[in-house]
Homo-oligomer: A and B are copies of this chain.
Amino acid sequence: MQIQYIFELIGTLAFAISGAMAGDERQKHDWFGITFIAFITAIGGGTLRDLFLNSYPLVWFNDMNIIYTIFLGILLPGLFYKYFVKLRTTLMLFDTLGIALFTIVGLEKAQSLGANDFISVVMGMFTAVMGGVIRDTMINKTPTIFVEEIYATACIIGGITYLILDDLGIDRNINFIISGSLIAVIRIIAVKFNLSLPKFYK
Protein backbone atom coordinates (compact mmCIF):
# COMPACT_ATOMS: atom_id res chain seq x y z
CA MET A 1 0.00 0.00 0.00
CA GLN A 2 2.71 2.42 1.11
CA ILE A 3 4.81 1.63 -1.97
CA GLN A 4 1.86 2.05 -4.32
CA TYR A 5 1.10 5.43 -2.80
CA ILE A 6 4.69 6.50 -3.47
CA PHE A 7 4.37 5.26 -7.07
CA GLU A 8 1.18 7.33 -7.40
CA LEU A 9 2.96 10.47 -6.16
CA ILE A 10 5.91 9.88 -8.53
CA GLY A 11 3.47 9.38 -11.42
CA THR A 12 1.68 12.58 -10.44
CA LEU A 13 4.99 14.48 -10.33
CA ALA A 14 6.02 13.10 -13.73
CA PHE A 15 2.69 14.06 -15.32
CA ALA A 16 2.69 17.52 -13.72
CA ILE A 17 6.17 18.18 -15.14
CA SER A 18 5.20 16.86 -18.56
CA GLY A 19 1.95 18.88 -18.46
CA ALA A 20 3.66 22.11 -17.38
CA MET A 21 6.27 21.72 -20.10
CA ALA A 22 3.69 20.77 -22.74
CA GLY A 23 1.83 23.97 -21.88
CA ASP A 24 5.03 25.94 -22.19
CA GLU A 25 5.86 24.43 -25.56
CA ARG A 26 2.87 26.24 -26.96
CA GLN A 27 4.51 29.43 -25.68
CA LYS A 28 1.35 31.36 -25.03
CA HIS A 29 0.37 30.31 -21.54
CA ASP A 30 0.81 32.44 -18.43
CA TRP A 31 1.29 30.99 -14.99
CA PHE A 32 -2.41 30.25 -14.59
CA GLY A 33 -2.50 28.45 -17.95
CA ILE A 34 0.56 26.37 -17.07
CA THR A 35 -0.87 25.47 -13.66
CA PHE A 36 -4.25 24.55 -15.13
CA ILE A 37 -2.68 22.32 -17.80
CA ALA A 38 -0.33 20.65 -15.32
CA PHE A 39 -3.30 19.86 -13.06
CA ILE A 40 -5.42 18.45 -15.87
CA THR A 41 -2.56 16.27 -17.11
CA ALA A 42 -1.88 14.96 -13.62
CA ILE A 43 -5.41 14.37 -12.34
CA GLY A 44 -7.62 14.23 -15.45
CA GLY A 45 -7.27 10.51 -16.04
CA GLY A 46 -7.74 9.49 -12.41
CA THR A 47 -10.72 11.82 -12.06
CA LEU A 48 -12.43 10.31 -15.08
CA ARG A 49 -11.72 6.81 -13.74
CA ASP A 50 -13.21 7.69 -10.34
CA LEU A 51 -16.31 9.26 -11.94
CA PHE A 52 -16.80 6.12 -14.03
CA LEU A 53 -16.31 3.83 -11.03
CA ASN A 54 -18.42 6.01 -8.71
CA SER A 55 -15.47 6.27 -6.32
CA TYR A 56 -15.79 9.32 -4.05
CA PRO A 57 -14.28 11.52 -2.79
CA LEU A 58 -12.01 12.08 -5.79
CA VAL A 59 -8.40 11.33 -4.84
CA TRP A 60 -7.18 14.95 -5.02
CA PHE A 61 -10.12 16.27 -2.95
CA ASN A 62 -8.89 14.85 0.34
CA ASP A 63 -5.18 14.36 -0.18
CA MET A 64 -3.21 17.59 -0.19
CA ASN A 65 0.00 15.62 -0.93
CA ILE A 66 -1.28 15.18 -4.49
CA ILE A 67 -1.80 18.95 -4.74
CA TYR A 68 1.64 19.79 -3.31
CA THR A 69 3.24 17.27 -5.66
CA ILE A 70 1.61 18.92 -8.68
CA PHE A 71 2.80 22.37 -7.60
CA LEU A 72 6.29 20.89 -7.16
CA GLY A 73 6.05 19.50 -10.69
CA ILE A 74 5.20 22.98 -11.96
CA LEU A 75 8.00 24.67 -10.02
CA LEU A 76 10.82 22.25 -10.89
CA PRO A 77 11.02 22.94 -14.63
CA GLY A 78 10.66 26.66 -13.82
CA LEU A 79 13.67 26.60 -11.50
CA PHE A 80 15.84 24.29 -13.59
CA TYR A 81 14.53 25.16 -17.02
CA LYS A 82 17.86 24.91 -18.81
CA TYR A 83 18.43 21.37 -17.61
CA PHE A 84 14.91 20.24 -18.38
CA VAL A 85 14.90 21.54 -21.93
CA LYS A 86 18.43 20.59 -22.88
CA LEU A 87 17.57 16.94 -22.77
CA ARG A 88 15.54 16.73 -25.91
CA THR A 89 13.68 13.68 -24.77
CA THR A 90 12.94 14.93 -21.24
CA LEU A 91 9.27 15.62 -21.85
CA MET A 92 8.78 12.20 -23.42
CA LEU A 93 10.58 10.45 -20.56
CA PHE A 94 8.47 12.10 -17.86
CA ASP A 95 5.32 11.32 -19.80
CA THR A 96 6.44 7.69 -20.20
CA LEU A 97 7.11 7.38 -16.48
CA GLY A 98 3.64 8.83 -15.88
CA ILE A 99 1.74 6.42 -18.12
CA ALA A 100 3.70 3.40 -16.82
CA LEU A 101 2.88 4.15 -13.17
CA PHE A 102 -0.70 5.38 -13.70
CA THR A 103 -1.71 2.37 -15.79
CA ILE A 104 -1.00 -0.01 -12.92
CA VAL A 105 -2.30 2.38 -10.22
CA GLY A 106 -5.56 2.77 -12.18
CA LEU A 107 -5.88 -0.94 -12.90
CA GLU A 108 -5.39 -1.87 -9.25
CA LYS A 109 -7.94 0.71 -8.11
CA ALA A 110 -10.52 -0.52 -10.62
CA GLN A 111 -9.91 -4.11 -9.50
CA SER A 112 -10.25 -3.19 -5.82
CA LEU A 113 -13.62 -1.62 -6.66
CA GLY A 114 -14.81 -4.87 -8.21
CA ALA A 115 -14.33 -4.17 -11.93
CA ASN A 116 -13.86 -7.18 -14.21
CA ASP A 117 -10.59 -7.82 -16.07
CA PHE A 118 -11.58 -6.05 -19.27
CA ILE A 119 -12.78 -2.93 -17.47
CA SER A 120 -9.72 -2.93 -15.17
CA VAL A 121 -7.36 -2.88 -18.14
CA VAL A 122 -9.42 -0.15 -19.83
CA MET A 123 -9.52 1.90 -16.62
CA GLY A 124 -5.75 1.50 -16.21
CA MET A 125 -5.20 2.79 -19.75
CA PHE A 126 -7.77 5.59 -19.12
CA THR A 127 -5.99 6.69 -15.94
CA ALA A 128 -2.76 6.87 -17.90
CA VAL A 129 -3.85 8.56 -21.12
CA MET A 130 -7.05 10.56 -20.51
CA GLY A 131 -5.40 13.44 -18.64
CA GLY A 132 -3.31 14.08 -21.73
CA VAL A 133 -6.32 13.56 -24.01
CA ILE A 134 -8.42 16.14 -22.11
CA ARG A 135 -5.48 18.57 -22.08
CA ASP A 136 -4.81 18.17 -25.81
CA THR A 137 -8.50 18.44 -26.70
CA MET A 138 -8.74 21.65 -24.68
CA ILE A 139 -5.77 23.32 -26.37
CA ASN A 140 -6.93 22.05 -29.78
CA LYS A 141 -4.03 19.67 -30.30
CA THR A 142 -4.60 16.19 -31.70
CA PRO A 143 -4.35 13.85 -28.68
CA THR A 144 -1.14 11.85 -28.46
CA ILE A 145 -3.10 8.58 -28.53
CA PHE A 146 -3.99 9.33 -32.18
CA VAL A 147 -0.54 10.59 -33.16
CA GLU A 148 1.92 8.28 -31.43
CA GLU A 149 0.72 4.96 -32.52
CA ILE A 150 2.13 2.79 -29.78
CA TYR A 151 1.09 4.72 -26.70
CA ALA A 152 -2.20 3.55 -25.26
CA THR A 153 -1.34 0.16 -26.75
CA ALA A 154 1.69 -0.05 -24.44
CA CYS A 155 -0.62 0.62 -21.48
CA ILE A 156 -2.99 -2.12 -22.58
CA ILE A 157 -0.17 -4.66 -23.04
CA GLY A 158 1.22 -3.70 -19.60
CA GLY A 159 -2.21 -4.03 -18.04
CA ILE A 160 -2.82 -7.47 -19.50
CA THR A 161 0.66 -8.56 -18.39
CA TYR A 162 -0.11 -7.41 -14.85
CA LEU A 163 -3.32 -9.46 -14.80
CA ILE A 164 -1.56 -12.58 -16.09
CA LEU A 165 1.32 -12.28 -13.59
CA ASP A 166 -1.21 -11.60 -10.83
CA ASP A 167 -3.02 -14.82 -11.74
CA LEU A 168 0.34 -16.62 -11.55
CA GLY A 169 0.67 -15.40 -7.97
CA ILE A 170 3.46 -12.86 -8.44
CA ASP A 171 3.80 -10.40 -5.55
CA ARG A 172 1.88 -7.19 -6.28
CA ASN A 173 4.79 -4.81 -5.74
CA ILE A 174 7.13 -6.85 -7.92
CA ASN A 175 4.39 -7.20 -10.51
CA PHE A 176 3.90 -3.40 -10.41
CA ILE A 177 7.57 -2.90 -11.27
CA ILE A 178 7.68 -5.58 -13.98
CA SER A 179 4.47 -4.51 -15.76
CA GLY A 180 5.17 -0.80 -15.36
CA SER A 181 8.68 -1.22 -16.74
CA LEU A 182 7.28 -3.19 -19.68
CA ILE A 183 5.02 -0.25 -20.56
CA ALA A 184 7.92 2.20 -20.40
CA VAL A 185 10.22 -0.07 -22.43
CA ILE A 186 7.61 -0.69 -25.14
CA ARG A 187 6.97 3.01 -25.56
CA ILE A 188 10.61 4.03 -25.56
CA ILE A 189 11.44 1.37 -28.17
CA ALA A 190 8.44 2.42 -30.26
CA VAL A 191 9.48 6.07 -30.19
CA LYS A 192 13.16 5.28 -30.82
CA PHE A 193 12.52 3.00 -33.79
CA ASN A 194 9.44 4.86 -34.93
CA LEU A 195 7.29 1.74 -34.77
CA SER A 196 3.61 1.92 -35.59
CA LEU A 197 0.53 -0.26 -35.58
CA PRO A 198 -0.92 -1.51 -38.85
CA LYS A 199 -3.81 0.42 -40.36
CA PHE A 200 -6.99 -1.52 -39.82
CA TYR A 201 -8.97 -0.94 -43.00
CA LYS A 202 -7.20 -1.15 -46.33
With known contacts A30-B200, A31-B200, A200-B30, A142–B139 Cβ distance under 8 A: yes
Q: Find out whether the CB atom of B146 lies under 8 angstroms from the CB atom of A34.
A: no
With known contacts A54-B57, A64-B118, A133-B138, A34–B143 Cβ distance under 8 A: no
Interface residues on A, range: 35 or more
Residue interface mask A186-202, B partner, CB < 8 A = 1? 00000000001111111
With known contacts A28-B146, A54-B57, A57-B54, A201–B34 Cβ distance under 8 A: yes
A–B pairs, 30, beta carbons within 8 Å: A24-B200, A28-B146, A29-B200, A30-B149, A30-B196, A30-B198, A30-B199, A30-B200, A31-B197, A31-B198, A31-B200, A32-B145, A32-B156, A32-B197, A33-B149, A34-B201, A51-B51, A51-B52, A52-B61, A54-B56, A54-B57, A61-B115, A61-B119, A64-B116, A64-B118, A67-B118, A78-B201, A81-B202, A137-B137, A139-B142
